[in-house]
């Protein structure tokens, strides 16, 4: 076989190169999430937990309350409020969320979103 045919054969079987990027989020997405639906599901769950924890913190801060004072108002302990504001905490109850909402003169609203909705970049 002539040398040029061998090169052509190798070029045909080589995987296509992905378009290069310097975007760190895109690089991480490609490396750890692209083509891995179970990881994407875990990321979505983590983002949801983080969003809830941040919302509780923001509501408390906007109301000018300390964790201790909010705990007093809703009838729990400061450590419970601290856990609720931790994005790793997975024990949120609707009852507690309603009590927190009432303490800061808000109400809880729940939405159900299609699982097919694309995950938005952070």
CA distances from 76 to 60, 86, 99, 105 (A): 15, 16, 10, 18
3-class DSSP state of 29: helix
The architecture CATH gives domain 48-113: Orthogonal Bundle (1.10)
Helix (H) or strand (E) holding 3: helix 3-13
Mean pLDDT on 21-43: 86
- What global pTM score does this model have? 0.69
Positive or negative, the CA dihedral 98, 104, 107, 111 is negative
Question: pLDDT grade, residue 22 (50/70/90)?
Answer: confident
- C-alpha angle with apex 119: 116 to 121, nearest 5 degrees? 165
The answer on pLDDT for 52 being more than 70 is yes
């Amino acid at each position: 076989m002539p040398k040029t045919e061998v090169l052509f054969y190798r070029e045909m079987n080589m995987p296509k190169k992905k378009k290069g990027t310097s975007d760190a989020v895109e690089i991480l997405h490609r490396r750890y999430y692209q083509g891995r639906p179970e990881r994407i599901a875990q990321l979505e769950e983590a983002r949801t937990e983080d969003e809830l924890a941040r919302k509780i913190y923001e509501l408390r801060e906007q109301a000018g309350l300390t964790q201790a004072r909010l705990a007093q108002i809703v009838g729990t302990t400061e450590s419970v409020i601290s856990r609720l504001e931790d994005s790793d905490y997975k024990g949120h109850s609707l009852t507690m969320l309603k009590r927190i909402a009432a303490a800061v003169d808000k109400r809880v609203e729940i939405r159900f979103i299609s699982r097919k909705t694309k995950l938005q970049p952070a």
